[in-house]
Amino acid sequence: MELAEREKEFQEKIDKGQKIEAKEWMPENYRKQLIRMISQHAHSEIVGMLPEGNWITRAPSLRRKAVLLAKVQDEAGHGLYLYSAAETLGIDREKMIEQLITGKAKYSSIFNYPTLTWADIGAIGWLVDGAAIVNQTMLARGSYGPYSRAMVRICKEESFHNRQGYEIIYELANGTPEQKKMAQDSLNRWWGPSMQMLGPSDADSKNSAETMKWKIKVESNDTVRQRFIDRTVPQAIAAGLTIPDPDLKFNEETQHWEIGDIDWEEFYQVIKGYGPCNHKRMKARQDAEAEGAWVREAAAAHAEKKRNKKAHQAA
Ligand code: BYC
């Protein structure tokens, strides 16, 4: 079959809402776009463990510690499903990890900010996982079977993360004046990066035309961001906190919350490597890779030994 004809059939399948599975024919750029997005997503999950893991030993109670520990472990699990989903496209995990630790691959901009107080753990669960859920419930409707199915389970776990984050923030916001101040300070620092996290505005999003044509994403960055804003502003109000945006207003006609300008200059600086914690995050992943080398070598040697034994018995 001619390439053009194959592409036409592929597009028809997508337009009908059918899923594409691992072994099926797909345009090379569809494969590339998916590897780019899924591997960036996987990297975000494991880098995202770092700012939160930082607070496990300092959680204010045993309950908070157990919940945070479970959340951070969930993020590692998400990384594993996602690396596996990317592997179905013909790239192996070693290669993806190498791309991460050599700085060739991106991970979410949001994880380049520090967690300065316990309230930041609340803000991450509330805002970061909140933004992730809105984005990922959309991605669960995407065209690539292994990725969209991974999203279903991830979103269920993210919902628990989101609730635990909001609970922390809500309790602090309704606690002592010092605690309320801590919650507000945390919202002030995480709001802007949470807006940026959902990607450049539609006019500047270079991949959206292609990824939306192929239903890798079924909604644009701005659409997803607006849904996140509409869901989050009332939660801030319910907690008695103020969104740090003087231009925020509710549009009665459209029934949407409208925000002021997003600081895209900051976003591009962070994704170029100049955020407050890029260097630290990268070094943590590089060290983990180096320190885990002996485990991988031992596991590979054991597997090799088993294979040789089997081959010897079969001979
Ligand atoms: N950070 O053309 P665009 C989590 C890049 S983790 C860094 O609009 P696209 C969690 C983008 O890659 C959740 N880079 O891109 C974990 C592109 O550059 P390249 C993470 C960003 O792909 C632990 C360029 O900017 N979620 O939930 O159509 C604890 C132009 O952008 C970012 C995912 O990864 C960013 N924020 O749309 C707690 C979801 N935004 O690659 C929680 C999967 C954009 O061409 N990804 N860039 O060099 C997506 O849904 C989409 O990739 C995006 C961007 C909406 C993020």
30: burial class by Cβ within 10 Å (0-12, 13-18, 19+)? buried
**In ligand 1, which atom is closest to the CA atom of 206?**
2
Distance from the alpha carbon of residue 106 to the mean position of ligand 1, in angstroms: 8
**In ligand 1, which atom is closest to the CA atom of 38?**
43
- For ligand 1, whether the C-beta of 271 sits within 6 Å is yes
- CB atoms inside a 10 Å sphere around CB 206: 7
Shortest-distance Cα residue to atom 26 of ligand 1: 41
E strand map for the chain: 249-251, 256-258
pLDDT means over runs of 10, the chain (315 residues): 91 97 96 98 97 96 97 96 96 96 96 98 98 97 96 93 97 98 98 98 96 97 98 98 98 98 98 97 96 94 92 87
Phi and psi of 250, rounded to 5°?
-95, 125
- For ligand 1, whether the C-beta of 95 sits within 6 Å is no
- For ligand 1, whether the C-beta of 206 sits within 6 Å is yes
What pLDDT score does 315 carry? 81
- Residue pair 84/42 in contact (Cβ under 8 Å)? The answer is no
Distance from the alpha carbon of residue 198 to the mean position of ligand 1, in angstroms: 7
- For ligand 1, whether the C-beta of 198 sits within 6 Å is yes
**In ligand 1, which atom is closest to the CA atom of 197?**
36
Beta bridge partners of 20: 144
- For ligand 1, whether the C-beta of 74 sits within 6 Å is no
Beta bridge partners of 251: 256
- For ligand 1, whether the C-beta of 194 sits within 6 Å is no
- Residue pair 160/66 in contact (Cβ under 8 Å)? The answer is no
Shortest-distance Cα residue to atom 15 of ligand 1: 207
Task: Give the contacts of 127 (CB within 8 A, at least 6 positions apart).
Answer: 165, 187, 190, 191, 194, 232
What pLDDT score does 314 carry? 87
Distance from the alpha carbon of residue 40 to the mean position of ligand 1, in angstroms: 7
- Residue pair 217/281 in contact (Cβ under 8 Å)? The answer is no
Q: Cα(224)–Cα(200) distance, rounded to whole angstroms?
A: 11
- For ligand 1, whether the C-beta of 211 sits within 6 Å is yes
Task: Give the contacts of 281 (CB within 8 A, at least 6 positions apart).
Answer: 47, 50, 107, 111, 112
**In ligand 1, which atom is closest to the CA atom of 52?**
29
The CA distances from residue 273 to 40, 261, 266, in Å, are 15, 22, 11
| pTM check: above 0.85 | yes
Phi and psi of 20, rounded to 5°?
-100, 135
- Residue pair 150/81 in contact (Cβ under 8 Å)? The answer is yes
- Residue pair 91/39 in contact (Cβ under 8 Å)? The answer is yes
Q: Cα(186)–Cα(15) distance, rounded to whole angstroms?
A: 43
Q: Cα(261)–Cα(224) distance, rounded to whole angstroms?
A: 16
Distance from the alpha carbon of residue 8 to the mean position of ligand 1, in angstroms: 28
> Which residue of 69, 271, 278 sits with most ligand 1 atoms within 8 Å of its CB, as the best mutation to test the pocket?
271
